[in-house]
Amino acid sequence: MASQIPRGAFIVFEGCDRSGKTTQAKKLVDYLNKNNIPSQFVNFPDRTISTGHIIDEYLRKKIELPDQAAHLLFSANRWEREPTLTKLIEQGITLICDRYSFSGVAFSAAKEGMDISWCFQPEKGLPKPDAVLLFKLNEEALQRRKGFGDERYEQTDFQRKVAENYEKLKDNIWIDIDADKDIDTLGLIVKDIVIDTIKKSQFNPLERFV
Ligand code: FDM
């Protein structure tokens, strides 16, 4: 009897800038690979692919775009990578993804006149993660970390609206992470959740956003 190949898990890290999620995602991928759990770090926006070049110019304020066009580009950036991501997951590789559709919706819908359900439409059909870890920092902890850069969206008021939108998107796959901890302590918490998710999802079919 043919045995089923375990698939990789699809795990997304979301949260505000400076919450440490990128550092944790990269550290975790190193740990998993060293422990013979094949995994890869992926991130959105992916500025290295076709749609990502325009997004990079937009984020660095080299070009202006209507909010709707910018939004659809971020979504197209995920669709451009979708075939590769799905293949990797099917091959048994766990993906630790730094930002995904939830950033897409939470950031765009933080803008005046952008409707949250409209923002979600182009995400339908993309792979749905097995878990979303939301890295949270309270205002005081956020102030203690070093300042924002010059990119679009890097202002405290805007980030506050993004945080409110994340709350609206939550369902049973979301897990809040209190990110106000040192790197190693946070790393242990994240590792336990991720290992548990990998075990639970390996024989479940990969879902899609509906
Ligand atoms: N961002 C990210 C969006 O506005 N929409 C998206 O779909 C995604 C994935 O781009 F401010 C925003 C979030 C952030 C900016 O992200 C660049 P990084 O993680 O700083 O590169």
How would residue 170 be classed by pLDDT, with cut points 50, 70 and 90? very high
In a domain, residue 4? The reply is: no
Residue 150 reports pLDDT greater than 90: no
Residues in the chain, total: 210
Please report whether residue 209 resides in a domain.
no
Asked if residue 5 belongs to a domain, the reply is no
State yes or no: pLDDT of 2 exceeds 60: no
For ligand 1, which residues put their CB under 6 angstroms from it?
A: 44-45, 59, 74, 99, 103-104, 107, 153
The mean pLDDT value for 67-74 works out to: 98
pLDDT at 83: 98
If one counts every other C-beta atom within 10 angstroms of the C-beta of residue 100, the result is: 25
pLDDT at 4: 79
| 1 part of a folded domain | no
Q: What percent of the chain clears pLDDT 90, i.e. is strictly above it?
A: 88
Report, as an integer, the average pLDDT of 29-40: 98
Across all residues in the chain, what is the average pLDDT? Answer: 95
Instruction: Identify whether 98 is part of a domain.
Output: yes
Kindly report each contact of residues 32-39 with a partner whose C-beta sits within 8 Å and lies 24 or more positions away, as own/partner. Answer: 32/94, 32/96, 32/194, 37/94, 37/195, 37/198, 38/8, 38/92, 38/93, 38/94, 39/8, 39/93, 39/94, 39/95, 39/96
Answer whether 33's CB lies under 8 Å from 8's CB: no
Higher pLDDT, 72 or 147: 72
Between the alpha carbon of residue 82 and those of residues 22, 78, 87, 123, 157, the distances in Å are 21, 6, 9, 11, 32
For residue 37, how far is its CA from the centre of ligand 1 (angstroms)? 28
What is the CA(180)–ligand 1 centre distance, in A? 22
Tell me whether 0.90 is exceeded by the ipTM: yes
Structure tokens at 144: 């203690």
Q: Which of 19, 73, 81, 99 to mutate to test the pocket of ligand 1 (most atoms within 8 A of CB)?
A: 99
Instruction: Indicate the angle between helix axes 101-108 and 67-90, nearest 10 degrees.
Output: 170
Domains held by the chain: number: 1
Q: What is the pLDDT of residue 3?
A: 63
152 in a structural domain:
yes
Taking residues 27-45, what's their average pLDDT? 98
Query: From ligand 1's centre to the CA of 148, what distance in Å?
Result: 14
Domain that holds residue 121: 10-200
Which percentage of the chain shows pLDDT scores above 70?
A: 99
CATH number reported for the structural domain that contains residue 38 in this entry: 3.40.50.300
The answer to whether position 206 is within a domain reads no
Say if residue 1's pLDDT is above 70: no
Please state, as a whole number, how many other Cβ atoms lie within 10 Å of the Cβ of residue 181: 14
Segment 34-42 mean pLDDT? 98
Residue 79 belongs to some domain of the structure: yes
